Amino acid sequence: MLRHQEFKVYIITTGDIMRFFVIEIIIGTVTYALANKIFHNFILASAGGWVGTETIKRVNAAVKMLVK
């Protein structure tokens, strides 16, 4: 039987929601459209959109770690 029960609260701020919309939706759409114009292929454009958003997220995380 568990003696220490934990209650977790996750706080989602409006900044987190806006960051999600900007990175995932706006930048994802832009990188998809750019990749679609370059490759003229749906599969490569989808991969390009995914790679673009993931790259921006990882670069942003690396910059935050370097600034600390």
Based on DSSP, count helices (H) and strands (E) in the chain, helices before strands: 3, 0
- Burial of 58 by CB count in 10 Å (0-12 exposed, 13-18 middle, 19+ buried)? exposed
What is the per-residue pLDDT for 2? 64
Please choose, from the candidates 21, 61, 22, 30, the residue with its C-alpha nearest in 3D space to the C-alpha of residue 48: 30
Q: What is the DSSP letter of 3?
A: S
Q: What are 7's two structure tokens? A: 């209650």
Percent of the chain predicted with pLDDT > 70: 97
Please choose, from the candidates 14, 17, 28, the residue with its C-alpha nearest in 3D space to the C-alpha of residue 57: 28
Residues 9-28 have pLDDT tens digits of: 999 999 999 988 998 999 99
Hey, is 33 helix, strand or coil? helix
Domain boundaries, the chain: 28-67
What is the per-residue pLDDT for 1? 58
**Residue 8, pLDDT above cutoff 80:** yes
- The pLDDT of 48-65, averaged and rounded, is 92
